[in-house]
Amino acid sequence: MSVQVSSQQLQEFLDFAVEVAKKAGEMIKDGFSKKKNVETKQSNADLVTETDQAVEKWVIGYINERYPSHKFIGEETTDGDVPCDFTDDLTWIVDPIDGTTNFVHSIPEVSYSMGLTANKEVIVGVVYIPVLDLMYTSMKGHGSYCNGRKLAVSSVEDLKQSIVIHEGGSSRVPAVVDTKMKNIHSIVNHSHGIRAYGSAAINFCRVADGQGEAYVEYGIHCWDFAAGMLIAEEAGAYVMDPDGGPCDLMKRRVLVACGEKVARELSAILTHLDMGRD
């Protein structure tokens, strides 16, 4: 049986997500200015700090207190060797710090990302950049906003006139790195250029706000882009799998653009990577 969510509940869930994001943001800001204890996970570029872990632990407890029947998927509490238990139930998908490498190096593009799914679709998305005090919010069917300002994607219609956001990612597997470098070469030759902000959630918000026409990444996780994807879609963006099919939250790759034409032009010049599933 599918989950039914009323308009009143949707607003309640968004208000809750904003409340959580503000409190998580205070923890992130506090950790941002202090010396960090850094550990590595899958590679020397896959980092985690005490703040990542502390924020997620607090968020899990706060959600369980308010909505004990809801499910939770988070970066620091997910076993990378076990598939995510992703169901139709109301599920909070959280990245406590998206942009941990930025956080470690005191670069302010560090975000807290929180999406809520029902029937495997994102219905609420919040991305907060606490150091810059930028709060991006969205509810399905109700548009997206930054600090109350309504967002809209760029009106550019051609890839050759576009800025494309693309990240190197944390994988250091030679074949993966080589393919990404090949894709960077292709993008540079078919666009105005490339940008990388170090946070998938922020990259989606940039596209949502017309600050770049497209974003593609291979190797990210559902917690990196659940919230940002909705924010971009509600601002008018076209989201799909990089190979042109429907976007799958668990497939670890995504392409978003200001319009379908730019999205498909970008897809056509890429060499696609299969990064597995969450």
Question: 222-234 and 200-208 helices cross at what angle (nearest 10)?
Answer: 10
From the candidates 56, 76, 95, 109, which is the catalytic residue? 95
From the candidates 49, 51, 100, 117, which is the catalytic residue? 100
Pick the closest to residue 142 from 44, 42, 10 (CA basis): 10
From the candidates 28, 63, 73, 97, which is the catalytic residue? 97
15 in active site: no
| Separation CA 193–CA 6 (nearest Å) | 43
Eight-class DSSP state of 160: G
H or E segment to which residue 173 belongs: none
From the candidates 56, 76, 98, 265, which is the catalytic residue? 98
Asked if 37 contacts 49 with a C-beta cutoff of 8 angstroms, the reply is: yes
Structure tokens belonging to residue 67: 């909505």
**Tokens 């409190």 appear where?**
23
From the candidates 224, 234, 265, 278, which is the catalytic residue? 224
| Separation CA 62–CA 56 (nearest Å) | 10
* Sign of CA pseudo-dihedral 268, 209, 91, 38: positive
| Separation CA 206–CA 203 (nearest Å) | 5
100 CA to centre of own chain: 13
75 in active site: yes
From the candidates 51, 56, 63, 75, which is the catalytic residue? 75
88 in active site: no
Residues paired with 165 in a beta bridge: 195, 215
178 in active site: no
Structure tokens belonging to residue 200: 């998938």
Contacts of 230 (CB under 8 A, 6+ apart): 115, 122, 123, 124, 125, 138, 140, 144
Q: Which residues are known to be catalytic?
A: 75, 95, 97-98, 100, 224
